[in-house]
Chain A
């Protein structure tokens, strides 16, 4: 196994990690603003992937198809918020909703979304053409497909855009205010209901992008959301559930570990790596590798 092969594994690992990062950031955003762990996060990516693939297959130009996928992710995210989370949180004002109930609600949403996807698209895989056509590139001996670079690039750009959004815009500040202290935010004329919807919509859009970006590589199926969501969550936990930056690093680490594990050890158990990583982190450092001051909800 030469250095070029290793570089190849690392690069594809980083690319996959970028994907997980997009999903993980969505988790962290929703959790920060609403306190909910969105089990349907992976399904939002799946929605984006399938919508983009269907439109592209029907002749829509690729950028439009991908944009539609992003919109689809946002729309489904909003639907999950309105249909499950918001009614539950609204019912118990003051007291806390049982965590069990919230978890089960988003599980129910993820199942229902998967069922609808199965109904609309069946169980066969769908494809998207790569974002730019052409042979794989040669970087210092490592063979890297153009789509891999696209995913890396898109993830990086999205992260920067999100960071700017959260720190430089008023809406972003409102979201962060809601994450820090819901009631204080309400006093500052920030509507938690609207923020919750925004968090879900934004996370859905980012997830939709992730789904569309990975489809040229690994095809889109109705059940692709499950593992994607799980790995996004593991990344978020590894990074420390309160920190988006930590989630990104966690995701990149996970992606590289998976890639190295599949390439060097065994590809059958590739998915096991994420779970093992989760167990290790839970055992050794449950607050996450980057225990930044957590955004605690009041």
Chain B
């Protein structure tokens, strides 16, 4: 009997062809879903002036980090903002020879020196090649308990913060390292990129918390390598809680740097890791540079 002439066989063959086609289509569809998606509106891994980013396209800790400013733009933004802040606070800037200013510049100078340690840059995955940082620290005579760092390394500390930390240089280093970390991680540039691609305020808020936590994380590593005690970061934020209790209101620093148990717990873990990293550096346990990555 000729199987091709059997109507039952022919109908089975047709169903089999359709089934086979369906399977092929499903396989192609699922494989296509495996292609990484770009967030709508995100820059495709290039600087706005169309120069390609570093080969990894990654930020601190290897995370994906779109940037909205080229190195030259970041420097220009920082310098312009610095001029504006100097103009706003020109009557309240402490002179350079004041002990508070010398102290802040000494501590920030040690942290900036630690940033130059190449294995530390690789450990954190900081990308600094092509970027210029002017690293200037100033003290503003005002009771605010806060500090900030503009792009390209312009640091400002309010005298109110120095009154709280007293003689404890490690706690001053906590704040300075945190602010310097924002500049090193190009957080301002990242926020420009995010704001261009998103108008969702909830995303913006969660994203800010991530940057604050990342600055904490990078900050304790900078502290350890600048020979400050990273455990003092925990003590500093617990001290801030005490101050809040005494004054009956949250210091302004909390509005930008909300603190909670999760943050304290994270800082403790990161301080341990930072100490271990410094010990590894001191005994020469350093990984060779990765040939496939651009050296920054």
Partners in one complex: no
**CB within 8 Å of B: which residues of A?**
none
